[in-house]
Structure 1
């Protein structure tokens, strides 16, 4: 008996080709997918929207890249960078409608914080360009780093400070750093002030870029796993005024991201 020949569904084949391409690359722009598959960009967009609605891919705000939905391709821990960014991304998009200035999401590394996501592209302002993903931020000279360092446990904080301590720190400088972190814990958010003497990464950039920033930790099960900030040009508002206007929205976003991560621990 001859085997019955069944036609394949060409549209489904093409959709699976796109999904496999995204999974293989881990992150891909629309243009990269266009070059890899030969499909028109309009067709690709429809496929990507469909794949997104089915929970198979998601689009990062920071650069518009399409990434595989983490839960579909791996059982990653809650601290997975991809998982944190994916969960946080829609909340950061919502934050952009409430706060006039952009934000970055960053996670801790050995001696720096790493940007995982930013809603900066949603703001059509030269002064609002933050990121890109992968940029390394200082623990002690950025609000982003300070928010994490202040919120983590004593043992982790001591280990990070040990890594950052210069060979010959100025007398009293470590006590100054620890006192500043205590004040951050007490008030619940971090800023770039006061300036500190240790020559950690980002110090010169912070001194000359003319920006101001505040940041809060994202807590999961009582411990920080990342931080989220708001950054604005110094000439556009004093710290006190911006904090008073936007801190509640920033904290609410951090809580929402933390709850979402607890509900989707992956």
Structure 2
């Protein structure tokens, strides 16, 4: 018996080609997809919006790249960096409408914090350029790192401090660090002050970039899994004024991200 020939749906076929391209590349810009598929950018945008509405791709704020949705078949936990970034991204976008300065989302690694996402591109200011994704931040010289270090459990904090401790730390410097972290925990947010003597990464950048920052942890199940900050030029506002104006919005965003992760753990 002759096999019946059935026509393919060309639009569906092209949409699947785009999805496969995003999944293969892990992250792709609109221009890269245009070059790979030969499709007009306007057509690609419509396809990507449709794929996004179906939960198959999402667009990162940090660089506009399109990424595949975290595969539910793999049952990734909410601690997956890709999943945290995907869930947090719309909340970072919403925060950009409430706070005049940009933010980064960062997660802990062995001896540093790593930027997972940032809403910096939504701000048309040279002073608002943060990131890019993958940048390593200090645990002890950035508000982002301090917020995590202050919120984590004693055993984890001790392990991180052990990794960061210099060969010959100045007398009293570790006690100073731990006292500072206790103060951060008590007040519920971190800043870059006070300066600390340990030569951890980012120290020189923090000293010379002229920026100020505050950060809070994102708590899931009673433990921090990431932190979110707000960064502004030091000449544009004192810590106290910016904290008073924007801290609650920052904390509300952290709570919203945590709630979204708990509601969608995979």
TM-score, structure 2 as length reference:
0.99
Q: Deviations over 1:169-197 (max 9, x none)?
A: 00000000000000000000000000000
Say which SS state the counterpart of residue 61 (structure 1) adopts.
Answer: coil
* Structure 1 segment 201-216 matched on structure 2, within 5 A: 201-216=201-216
For residues 203 and 109 of structure 1, what CA distance do their matches in structure 2 show?
Answer: 18
Query: Contact 1:56–1:72 (CA<8 Å) still a contact in 2?
Result: no
Moved more, 84-93 or 29-38: 29-38
**CA offsets, 1:207-262, max 9 Å, x none?**
00000000000000000000000000000000000000000000000000001000
Structure 1 residues 59 and 73: alpha-carbon distance in aligned structure 2, compared to 1, 3 A threshold: farther
Pick closer, same or farther for the CA change 1:73–1:96 going to 2, 3 Å.
farther
- After superposition, the C-alpha distances for 1:83-108 in whole angstroms (9 at most, x for unaligned) are 00000000000000000000000000
Shift of 1:71: 3.7
Partner of 1:167: 167
Aligned-residue Cα RMSD (Å) equals 0.7
CA distance in 2, matches of 1:43, 1:20: 16
In 2: Cα distance, 1:7 partner to 1:26 partner: 31
**SS of structure 1 residue aligned to 2:71:** helix
Q: Name 1:32's counterpart in structure 2.
A: 32
Give the superposition deviation at 1:17. 0.3
Q: Which runs of 5+ in 1 are unaligned?
A: none
Worse-superposed segment, 18-27 or 67-76: 67-76
SS of the aligned residue for 1:70 comes to: coil
Distance in 1, Cα, partners of 2:74 & 2:25:
14
Offset at residue 72 of structure 1 (A): 4.4
Deviations 1:143-176 (A, max 9, x none): 0000000000000000000000000000000000
Aligned residues: 266
Pick which of 101-110 and 66-75 moved more: 66-75
Listed as ranges, the gaps of 5+ residues in structure 2 are none
